Structure 1
Amino acid sequence: MSGNPQEHAAIGFVGLGMMGHGIAKNIVEKGYPLTVITHRNRAPVEDLLGRGATEAQTLGELARRSSIVFLCVTGSPEVEAAVRGPDGLAAHLRSGSIVVDCSSSDPNSTVRLAAELKAKGVEFADAPLSRTPKEAWEGTLDTMVGADDAVFARLRPILDTWAGKIVHIGGVGDGHRMKLLNNFISLGYGALYAEALALADRVGISAERVDSVIRGGRMDCGFYQTFMQFTLTGDRNAHKFSLANAFKDLRYLESMANGVGLVNPVGSAVKNSYAVAIAAGGASDYVPMLPAYIDRLNGGKVD
């Protein structure tokens, strides 16, 4: 970013969870005026206020202070609730503002919201995330952006504050479509690893012995390493992506496939692997804990 950041966009931020807190931290530390929404979880709010952010009591107040608003929430229902309604963003943003959805959302909802906001003179972009809260804090996330060229050009300096890899994938909705494809691949890995580890255990091959073959070989990758870190060391923080969020994204993927009439048997199988964990009460556990639920399906016990 060139020049004085204070002469640039005023940023609003909604959603200070595991990813959002780190993103917002990088935005304000790199000089952009930042307003965050009040929240019952005071820790991230107080941290950001200490770094120079200001706090809004309502979405309307946040919208009036901001020219670009980032949303980093659970999914489309939460995004829609933030945008719509008498005190939602749409009712208070000025013409020429931009709403950026960093959540993993349903592309159909994204396209509908973009059209609603466009009628009010407000632009919409989808910039979902890849990698983990660690990279969010370090400012090295990956993001795939759906936006027209002019909107992307306005967003690029802010994205540079928190992302190490930025891909302008296409128009509005394409970021979320690509995110679902990305998560299908990664969560598909997770389902394969879980079943392989459960089977290995049943035939007397330890996770450590499995890892000695996979790690450093052609089937090794960053996702495998953070997934296995929990299995090998019990580190719950190695890969903080909940089974509930995984299941939600796979349901969005299924909807996307249905929308174009694509038969996706592998996607359905992967989704059902995570459905097993959700049905067993594992919604708040993380993806690397899936092997225990696959084992439980086969008569074992979740630790």
Structure 2
Amino acid sequence: MPPTNSPTLRQRRLGAELRKLRERSGLTATGAAGLLGVNQARISMIETGRTPISADRLRSMARAYDCSDEQLIDVLASMTGRRTRGWWEDYREHLPAALVDLAELEHHASGLRVALAMHIPALLQTTDHARALFRAVVPIMRQYEIEHRLTHRMKRQAILHRKEPLPYAAIIHESALRMGFGGAEVRRGQLKHLLSMSELPHITVRVIPFDTEYYPSTGQSFDYVEGPVPQLDTVQLDTHHGGCGFLDAEAQLSKYRTVLDHMEACALGPAESRAFVQNLIRDI
């Protein structure tokens, strides 16, 4: 398979996981190349996601690295081969690569947990609310850029409405619910939509009110994307320049799982949260 100069997040993650397996086995890239009958450059290309590999080659590498986790090997094998062309690829020339990679990551996720302090979760936003957000971006976007971002965001929401919808849990601070993006009518419509979505069986919304004594977070928004196996979980961080930061080190994943658990513990329950949102709607 020919190499690629622009591997997707999924391809890079596959390569990174193979590097982790190699390093745990105590092998250098040179040593691994010798065992597998390839040159060191090919190992490096595989580990950076620039060279696709077959499922058979991956299993050979796993054996050489003494990996006995069959579940992990099966999941990694399912990630091999050429890049799958999903709908998100149509946006690769129009949006930052990280946003395209995020859509791919969400598509393959087994669950999502998100925490936000100043914004409604992207997958629970209305079209009007999202458009108001994009119009407030600095530097100002041109109209066609806003429309690209908007259609991309709305298509991402399809994972919550497919035949087997993605389990989704959102923790939202009261400050995000009170932000008036787009004016009163847009805010009212957004809160009604949030309320409606929270009633779906696969979606859980919890609110952290202002009077909560404990808030175990810096206020930065982040998504915890659950993979088919825990080793393939990913944390996505929003950044001020509009991109996405992705974390997958074991210590980082453990930290953000703990933060989410603590945030859930100090948030209102799902029923209380719905009542809280209903009261906000009445007050608009």
Regarding TM over 0.5, the answer is: no
Shorter-normalised TM range? under 0.3
TM-score, normalization: structure 2?
A: 0.25
- Structure with the bigger RCO (C-alpha within 8 Å, sep 6+) is 2
